[in-house]
Amino acid sequence: MDSNRFSFSEPFLKTRRKLFSEFSLCVGASLLLCSLFFLSNSLKVPKNSVFLPVFNNSNTNSSFVSHPFSFNSTNHSCVYLNNASEISLKRIEEESVIVGRISEVNVSSVGVEKKNSSFVSPNVKNNVNVTNDASYNGNTSIVEGRNEDLVRDKNVTLITHSDEQVEKMNVGNLYDKCDIFDGKWVRDDSKPYYPLGSCPFIDRDFNCHLNGRLDLEYVKWKWKPNKCHIPSLNATDFLERLRGQRLVFVGDSLNRNMWESLVCILRQSLRYKKRVFEISGKREFKKKGVYAFRFEDYNCSVDFVASPFLVRESTFKGKNGSFETLRLDLMDHTTSRYQDANIIVFNTGHWWTHEKTSKGEEYYQEGNHVYPRLKALDAYMRALTTWAKWVDRKINANHTQVFFRGYSVTHFWGGQWNSGGQCHKETEPIYNETYLQKHPSKMRALEHVIQNMKTEVIYMNISRLTDYRKDGHPSVYRKDYKTSMKQNSSSLYEDCSHWCLPGVPDTWNELLYVSLLKYGKGTWKI
């Protein structure tokens, strides 16, 4: 066979080789462009993507915020999820802040004081199912911004959406291991929980603004624990957890101060404020009795039971007639009004400094015996022991959470409340700690009693916290001050015991909220 019949001419072969080379080049270029396109899309961070910690069933440390969930604070690896992922993820609301880890960063504006600390968003409302696939182990840091999308580079995983959300985040060491009562006051120019003069349920003597106090510095301070960051009081979350329950404050007028503060904070969060009312219609709360504010939309109440000693005030019939006594061995008659409450906040202390109780002459009684003379601290310890035995015997710890708020420090200069003591014109806290008082002996007695109780009692140690705040008292800004001044009355007393509202008791309630999240039972359990 003649092979020349099947050969091609050289020009023809050159043309075919050229076309084949150009075709191969086009195919290669197309494949390269497609690869680059898919790669670039895979590197983008979708708006609905989140970084979540890897969950571990052996979790022991939890971070609590307004809607918190638990995670292992020692495991900082993060899971990256996007819309194409096989990992199941229910939709998280758009305003939710990302969950992640802080590494080699110090952000003072949000309370970050220690490196490699975990933080969590308060707004994650839906359940999230996460596996350990696609772990992301890169270092991350926070970049602050307002209403911005997520920004990503090799060292950045998130941008917070607003300063308000940053403030709500639990940043720094987890406060389940932190003493939230060990800290300092820091300047805070944000608004108080309820505007000055806005709450109609504040006793006139606590309403410093209405009584003529012009400076506003006393509402511009926030309590900051030394070793952790705490969330603000989320009133909506508080009410939701309190739904169908009773919270009762039991004690003296300082607990009334705290009670009115909490009612005002919770009321401010509601759209229909008329659905908050004292069930008996009372608007004055200074007399002894039981008062209950009902939050109709949540079927719950926040009550106050006036019991300044916790134990029973009584009378004794002696040879020379009847005289008043204090039964150190019997609880007050009011116990039936709060025994079955879901949360009880006790206090007592201030009435033990009055002349009758401090002298203790033929005043303290146990059984049929009236002590001719008994030191007030000894009597206080006996009364607390009676209270502790009653709590251990009568309170169902599975149903009721028990708190005891510590002694609120007073600031009388130049005398006591009834001998010319003053705190007028104090507009700043104490800065120099050498001017602070020693830890109250009554609180040392209380701490000893609580340690020996069977029932868990959460002790709110607010003594040092209040000691700094010499500026927060009503002082001369009281209901009868102007009338007394016109009459040049020598009986004009300054109030350097109670607190202006809004003011310091708002912080007590903030710490009550954190303590409930920290030690939560029932609806408060995380």
263 found inside a domain: yes
The pLDDT, as a whole number, for residue 417 is: 56
Residue found by looking up tokens 């075709």 in the block = 23
Torsion sign across C-alpha atoms 91, 92, 95, 100: negative
| 192-218: pLDDT as tens digits | 999 999 999 999 999 999 999 999 999
517: which 2 tokens?
């999240």
d(CA 101, CA 76): 6
In a domain, residue 224? The reply is yes
Q: How many beta carbons lie within 10 A of that of residue 13, not counting itself?
A: 11
Q: Is the pLDDT of residue 233 over 70?
A: yes
- How far is 483 from 489, CA to CA, in rounded Å? 9
Counting every residue written for the chain, the total comes to 526
Number of domains in the chain: 1
Q: What CATH number does the domain containing 399 carry?
A: 3.40.50.1110
Q: Hey, is 175 helix, strand or coil?
A: helix
Spell out the long-range contacts of 89-93 with Cβ–Cβ below 8 A and sequence spacing 24 or more. 89/50, 89/128, 89/129, 89/130, 90/126, 90/127, 90/128, 90/129, 91/48, 91/126, 92/48, 92/50, 92/124, 92/125, 92/126, 92/128, 93/123, 93/125, 93/126
Confidence of residue 117 (pLDDT cuts 50, 70, 90): very low
Do residues 507 and 258 lie in contact, with contact meaning Cβ atoms separated by under 8 Å?
A: no
Question: Is residue 368 one of the residues assigned to a domain?
Answer: yes
Instruction: Indicate whether 75 belongs to any domain.
Output: no
Range of the domain at 452: 187-480+492-524
In a domain, 54, yes or no: no
Q: Angle CA(93)–CA(96)–CA(97) in degrees, nearest 5?
A: 160
Q: In sequence order, what DSSP letters do the residues of 2-45 get, joined into one string? A: -GGGG---HHHHHHHHHHHHHHHHHHHHHHHHHHHHHHHHHHS-
Name the residue with higher pLDDT: 383 or 145: 383
Residues marked as catalytic: 253, 495, 498
State residue 149 phi and psi, 5-degree precision: -80, 170
Is the pLDDT higher at 281 or at 311? 311
How much is the CA Rg of the chain, to the nearest whole Å?
32
In a domain, 25, yes or no: no
Residues paired with residue 277 on neighbouring β-strands, in sequence order? 294
The predicted pLDDT at position 35 comes to 67
Sign of CA dihedral 101, 93, 228, 457: negative
pTM above 0.85, yes or no: no
What's the mean pLDDT when you consider all of the chain? 76
Residue 244 lies in a domain: yes
Backbone angles phi, psi at 135, to 5 degrees: -65, 140
Measuring CA to CA, which residue among 230, 281, 290 is closest to residue 259? 290
- The reply to whether 438 falls in a domain is yes
- Mean pLDDT across 301-317: 96
